[in-house]
Structure 1
């Protein structure tokens, strides 16, 4: 069959297996090139590097990029966890399924230990499987990446399922909604959170589950002395604060940061540490449907590309490892809240001043001039394996469960 993207309201509902695999390979090739460029040394080569890395939420975005960097630049053995839809010969799976398959194939070829669990990372059963795998390897994790993003979470103790929402608090939020495929701009409004939507969102997207992971891994004695753990977050510009930082998701992220201090205190006894890494805004499946965010990112990308400071997932995570986590002096640069600021280039006052000048001027007539429409469209499509260089999208895919090309 010929597979074309199926897009509805800035959401892509299918994936191209070959495109996903090829994009994963492209990211692997990038970090291999960066290893040579930087002169990065693995642990076996006498460098500062992780030995065994656990990535929770390993299949797409920052989680996948973190796992690729850990394995292919720093030589680490990795365990990944994500919950994906498995394909059949005639029915496609989720992008993350194909990404994980491509990662495992490449890691095994490179002689790296790899294990990917397709499981609910919020469950204690999954934690038990990961602990068993570490013990079977005779290994202890010295880096744990927490990059989970899900609309739902079932509490392991109560078995109650909670749902998260992206809503403002105590006010209606209105803003321009840019259709990146057509360039059309409409006004969209989001109603404020109601009832238990705020605590439920914190329950799903806050730090409770991260803290539970570290506690159970520590009690099982599968964390190495000096283990570091990171969770990923976003703050963004003031124009998005009502829907993000000051909204339901923002409340969850504040909880994440608060719990990072608890985890940090618990790990310090054995020389470890916990951080929240505040990352740059990128086109993701969730950000694509939030009012104003797509237009903001399109303007931001145009400005940062002109300055030569734009980064995608893999570029940013590679810089996180090289210039924050595994520095020559062993120190991790942080802000006053003990956060790693990978959004430093995005939030540069000069960049934000330029963004603020351009945003009000964007119209459908000048959108191609002021917004990096091609760039955000490309980033949106590659999430699902489309618009990837080197892939023949007119070629028949005879088996949706395979990634050979």
Structure 2
């Protein structure tokens, strides 16, 4: 079939198998161009492995460190006349490239919050790898059915305490406007958001992996967070999502204690603002990112997801000397350090004040934002002919 992008708001309803494969290949080529990661991981579990930072982590481990990888995700398979999700196609392309390179790669498609998928993953590790030496936790979901209580929790994106008004942009049309978001009304909404996006499930995974004996001596585990600039605090860091991120980050000492007898360690890595399916849904953030991209590209310090993860692995998680790993005052790894540089933030703040619909194309990298958004779904790659027929029925080899 011929697959073109169909968009509804911040969601693209279609994805392109050849385009997503190109996206995966581009990321692999970047990691290979940076050379081998000394003392990198060799047996890796990535929970939330099909898109964004999770996919980039899996690619970095495999092609930067020749690691065997198991990826867990929840994606819609392709069927005749119905394209699969981008994450499904990404995973298919990754496994194909890994196999070509002689690397072990298998995947599990299911609800990572469930006990069933945890047991299935443990069985696969025992069968094929024995143990893993790195666990990446990179789940992004708007809802979670709690495995112990059966209660369904849904996250909300709202400020806490008072309404928030600021600029935002429709990145498709380039229209800059003001948006007002009312504060969360019920404490339950905060609790539900923490239940979905906080650290409890990460803890459940590590507890079950350890109990099953599949964590190696010296195991590392890392989850991802974001802080951002003050202008996004009301809707992000000081809002409902921020409470969940606080909970995620607060899980680190719990896991460190749990992993102590294995000489293991856990980290939260605070990453840069990037175009993802999640960030596109947050008011204010697309405008901020389009201005940030402009500034960082002009300074020659722009990074995408794969550049961020390659730097995290090679310069932070697997430095030659563990004492070289610099953490912030709250014990977090910071690979948002270039984004948060004073000179970068000062320039973004100036542009923010000036940005209007009329000057957006000149002041920002809104086109770069659009391209990266469509790249997530396999579109806007010059190497791909989107007017040609493509085979939408693609399987993930280890799943079928």
In the alignment, structure 1 residue 397 sits paired with structure 2 residue 390? yes
Shift of 1:183: 1.0
Residue 331 of structure 2 corresponds to 338
Shift of 1:402: 6.2
Query: Which digits, 9 at most, give the CA deviation of each residue in 1:100-126, with x for residues without a partner?
Result: 000111111111111100011001111
Residue 12 of structure 2 corresponds to 12
In the alignment, structure 1 residue 229 sits paired with structure 2 residue 240? no
Other structure's SS at 1:285 match: coil
Shift of 1:175: 2.1
Runs of 4+ residues deviating >3 angstroms: 398-403
In the alignment, structure 1 residue 206 sits paired with structure 2 residue 198? yes
Shift of 1:398: 4.3
Residue 377 of structure 1 corresponds to 370
Which of the residues 94, 103, 106 maps onto 2:97? 106
Alignment of 1:175-186 (within 5 A): 175-186=166-177
Alignment of 1:43-62 (within 5 A): 47-62=38-53
Distance in 2 between residues matched to 1:293 and 1:151, nearest whole Å: 18
Alignment of 1:342-353 (within 5 A): 342-353=335-346
- TM-score, normalisation: structure 2: 0.96
Distance in 2 between residues matched to 1:183 and 1:258, nearest whole Å: 38
Shift of 1:401: 3.2
Residue 260 of structure 2 corresponds to 268
Alignment of 1:4-403 (within 5 A): 4-35=4-35, 40=36, 47-195=38-186, 196-331=188-323, 332-401=325-394
Query: Which digits, 9 at most, give the CA deviation of each residue in 1:298-349, with x for residues without a partner?
Result: 1110000000000000011000011001112134321121100010000011
Unaligned 5+ segments in structure 1 are: 42-46
Shift of 1:389: 3.0
Other structure's SS at 1:274 match: strand
Other structure's SS at 1:73 match: helix
Contact in 1 for aligned 2:92/2:394 (Cα 8 Å): no
Contact in 1 for aligned 2:225/2:268 (Cα 8 Å): yes
Other structure's SS at 1:311 match: coil
Shift of 1:139: 2.1
Residue 44 of structure 1 corresponds to none
Corresponding pairs, count: 394
Distance in 2 between residues matched to 1:110 and 1:66, nearest whole Å: 17
Other structure's SS at 2:236 match: coil
Unaligned 5+ segments in structure 2 are: none
Contact in 2 for aligned 1:17/1:402 (Cα 8 Å): no
Shift of 1:92: 0.9
Distance in 1 between residues matched to 2:40 and 2:7, nearest whole Å: 41
Contact in 2 for aligned 1:189/1:291 (Cα 8 Å): no
276-285 or 7-16: which moved more?
A: 7-16
Shift of 1:186: 2.2
- TM-score, normalisation: structure 1: 0.95
Query: Which digits, 9 at most, give the CA deviation of each residue in 1:175-224, with x for residues without a partner?
Result: 22212222111222222112211000000000000001000100111000
Distance in 2 between residues matched to 1:233 and 1:152, nearest whole Å: 18
Residue 2 of structure 2 corresponds to 2
